[in-house]
Structure 1
Amino acid sequence: MSVISRNRVRVSGVPDGRPIVFAHGFGCDQEMWRFVAPDFERDHRVVLFDHVGCGGSDLSAYDPDRYGSLRGYAEDVVEVCRELGLRDAVLVGHSVSSMIGVLAVRAAPELFGALVMIGPNPRYVDDGDYSGGFSRADIAGLLDSLDSNHLGWSEAMAPVIMGNPDRPELSAELTNSFCRTDPDIARRFARVTFLSDNRADLPAVAVPTLVLQCSDDAIAPEAVGRYVHAHVPDSSFIQLAATGHCPNLSAPEETVAAIRAWLPAPTRRA
């Protein structure tokens, strides 16, 4: 099976530009970057893909053992980058893909030159003095609801995640994206997402890193974003005016501007 077809990889932009790889969050696919990625096509080599089990990926490639932890998804990212021959790539991860990005950079540091984390949360469950935004009971209830009623869970959670009540069309899009995901795979991916603990991986990130934090984010509160910033050695923190958890949809211009302001000006490759 081809890595390119397995993850529905699409490459655009400037062939000799610095690579920038966009990784989507839980229940979504590469279409969530459609308002962000085009801006980078003018001076970067842009790579989009779907995690296995999402979007147009090859569902037959889904292996519960491989994808029983975020490391399986990180291995896929590394394989995609190696297949494309990328070097010094900027990896932009949204939500759970922020931690997938952390693991990918740790596994193959020779491939990546920078990491952007949008709404990262290394541990959703509160733990002692650490506040991840959810109690154990919260997460148990969330997962039980997803198990019992995938459609109902999608309709209830999308507005919470999106966080823009005055723009119901955004919540509707996220609901539809959740509903396009295979329910069995979604249940497994949800457990991997919400029960993982990647706090110990943060200090080992050895590339310049940008933490983009939304305002009023119910999924990744500001305290969590600041925790990530404090524990990733060479990191910068930018607070966005955008509310909710999906600024790639709700505030793409601000998201693009923040990434561009942080990244060095791109140069063409020989």
Structure 2
Amino acid sequence: MTRTLLAIVLLALMLSPVQWMVSTSFQPANGSRQGAWFPVDPDLTGYATALREQGGHLVTSLVVALGAALLSLALAAPAAHALALWPLRGAGPALFGVLLLQAVPGITVANALHGAYSDAGLLDSHVGLVLADSTAGVPFSILVLRSAMRSIPREVVEAARLDGAGTLRLFRSVVLPLSRNALVTAGVFAFLFAWGDTLFALALTTSDAVRPITLGVHDYLGAHSTRWDATMATAVLASLPAAVLLVVAQRHIAESTTSDVR
């Protein structure tokens, strides 16, 4: 009982900023200092302003995050398959290199990419942000998928080979279906990495043509610091895609952490 009460208190403390954010988003522009836990008369003006001024930024973030997740899986799945199921020379150093990539500071990568993007004409482009955000998603996805693919019973792989399955068919028809939970988990986290990115967006965009919602919120705070209703409405809208994605994929993520193969 004591542990349950403690857990409830801790959960309430952690969720209190979310409650304040949602409550403030429904209050009038001059009502954020009233201290009400819930707005008595909800006002949607903040959401109307947020959608009008930040709607394009939300679409940009959605396009970039989805693109980064798909690209991360497309690159990581074959690499994880090779590292997990094939006796490749140098697989150990390759995996160690993947781990090192996770430790490289993002600012270092962003600075290096800025010069390369400037020469290639990729600044202020969706493609450029997708490629940049994938630098975080690909190493993580390789580690998650390799772990799942290594747990596939060797008997299943050998049976598929005896049935005449080649390398590509084995990968497509056996390995990927058995790694479904890990694929969902890796894709979700690659999406979240890109969705919450600020560093690459700040370093690789110079105008409002391609601007993710993270920078949109930052700019909005600077320009309208007294319009807390619109600011918090933007924060709520920016939180919804990630929250919905986690709710939808929670079963796959839970199964991936407990058992890589069902």
Give the TM-score taking structure 1 as reference length: 0.24
Which has a greater percent of helix? 2
Q: Which of the two has higher C-alpha Rg?
A: 2
Give the TM-score taking structure 2 as reference length: 0.24
Which has a greater percent of strand? 1
Higher relative contact order (CA 8 A, sep 6+): 2
